[in-house]
Amino acid sequence: MYSEDMSTRTRLVNATQELLWERGYAATSPKDILQRAGAGQGSMYHHFAGKQDLASAALEESAAMMRADVDILLTGEGSPLDRVIAYLERQRDSLRGCRMGRMTYDADVLATPELLRPVAETLQWVVATVTTVISRGIEEHEFPEGTDAHQLASMVVATVQGGYVLARAQQDPAAFDAAVDGAAGLLRSWSRR
Amino acid sequence: MYSEDMSTRTRLVNATQELLWERGYAATSPKDILQRAGAGQGSMYHHFAGKQDLASAALEESAAMMRADVDILLTGEGSPLDRVIAYLERQRDSLRGCRMGRMTYDADVLATPELLRPVAETLQWVVATVTTVISRGIEEHEFPEGTDAHQLASMVVATVQGGYVLARAQQDPAAFDAAVDGAAGLLRSWSRR
DNA sequence: GTCTATAACGGGATAGAC
DNA sequence: GTCTATCCCGTTATAGAC
């Protein structure tokens, strides 16, 4: 339940963002959303065309938040290698999984272009941004010449996404940490070649 | 619809395995299963206590299949490095994702110990098996001394699991290939240190 | 063992009052 | 703008005939 100074529309979007992260699209009902937002049926159908429309707005908002979070790590302090390792190591709440990545296993999302688009674009953006940082590292001779920046970036992002899967399966964040630590170790070694 | 020489029970389990892979647990209804198996309501409730019981049997069967598939790659021909790379590179149908990994984003599975158990055990087994292969590689001096086999194995399995996520988001197997090629490249480099 | 009929419940959307 | 009442449909399970 949100504070009164947020508009009903905002409370609806926020509640939907949370539920999409926790349970996914198909498993989230309008009733769940309304209860968490402290709103009635009418409000939702006044502000949005329906569940899908609201979910679309919520996903776009979550996508923007994820980009902002990742951007801070990748454009922050330190050398290119430091920043890639910051992206790997500073993920929080690994048991919650990825707001965007989890949607790829929701059949309704895959089948609905408006819902898949923010997911596809955001993950694509993360890979592209890591690729840019690694390319910079190659220019600065922190990574060897001939490094395939896109392959390396794909591996880095996949390690994070897959680390979430392993941690959720074991219900243990240590499984995530082992994966990203393994990737960070290899990257450090690669940069010293 | 399956051939007549399979028992109804077997057809139910097989149909459920397929649907769990394609859509997950919550999104699969008994009706879907019965239609694909070519059976009626009565058959299912005769052989199984309900949807959850049938899904449990199907997941156990899929888990065994996945272990068999992975085992062939990891205990097959070649040096430890070759076998780890075979595991990375010989995944098929990357757009389908992982039978077990996908279940970690299904809230009902997480909340049901009988359903989560095969998922957790199988992914744990894969990481442990890759760890063993890498440890062997360290003994044989194919990997440097001081290599953390468990971290490296976690990274390898996470890359595969995350590669599925990236490929499904883009609806393009190339995203999977880039991730596993990146991991394979780093591993080769690491083994030559 | 397998079938159909039915029931109880919840999801998602609409209607119309306030 | 927000509320409640209502509707239609699909999911899951049960009952009982064959």
Other CB atoms within 10 Å distance of the CB of residue B82 = 15
Average pLDDT, chain A: 96
Interface contacts A/B by beta carbons within 8 Å: 201
Q: What percent of chain B has pLDDT over 70?
A: 97
- Residue-wise pLDDT tens digits, B101-111: 999 999 999 99
Instruction: Answer yes or no: do A158 and B157 touch at CB < 8 A.
Output: no
Does residue A2 have a pLDDT over 90? no
Q: What pLDDT sits at residue A4?
A: 53
Residue of chain A nearest B124, judged by CA positions: A170
Residue (of B147, B150, B149, B158) closest to B183 by Cα position: B158
**A interface test, pick of B98, B121, B130, B155 with most A CB neighbours within 10 Å:** B155
Q: What percent of chain B has pLDDT over 90?
A: 96
Q: What pLDDT sits at residue B193?
A: 83
CA distance B186 to B2: 44
- Residue-wise pLDDT tens digits, A63-104: 999 999 999 999 999 999 999 999 999 999 999 999 999 999
Tell me the three-class secondary structure of chain A, residue by residue.
CCCCCCCHHHHHHHHHHHHHHHHCCCCCCHHHHHHHHCCCHHHHHHHCCCHHHHHHHHHHHHHHHHHHHHHHHHCCCCCHHHHHHHHHHCCCCHHHCCCCHHHHHCHHHHCCHHHHHHHHHHHHHHHHHHHHHHHHHHHCCCCCCCCCHHHHHHHHHHHHHHHHHHHHHHCCHHHHHHHHHHHHHHHHHHHCC
- Residue-wise pLDDT tens digits, B13-47: 999 999 999 999 999 999 999 999 999 999 999 99
pLDDT average, residue stretch A131-142: 98
Residue of chain A nearest B193, judged by CA positions: A193
Cα of B33 to nearest chain A Cα, Å: 16
- Is there contact between B38 and strand D, defined as CB under 7 Å from any strand atom? no
Instruction: Answer yes or no: do B107 and A190 touch at CB < 8 A.
Output: no
Name residues 124-163 of chain A within 8 A of B (Cβ).
Answer: 124, 127, 148, 150-163
pLDDT average, residue stretch B141-161: 98
Does residue B5 have a pLDDT over 90? no
Q: pLDDT band at A3, cuts 50/70/90?
A: very low
Q: What pLDDT sits at residue B3?
A: 47
Residue (of A167, A14, A9, B25) closest to A1 by Cα position: A14
Cα of B181 to nearest chain A Cα, Å: 6
- Residue-wise pLDDT tens digits, A97-123: 999 999 999 999 999 999 999 999 999
Instruction: Answer yes or no: do B169 and A120 touch at CB < 8 A.
Output: yes
**Which bases of chain C come closer than 7 Å to a protein CB?**
1-6, 10-17
Q: What pLDDT sits at residue B173?
A: 98
Q: What pLDDT sits at residue B31?
A: 98
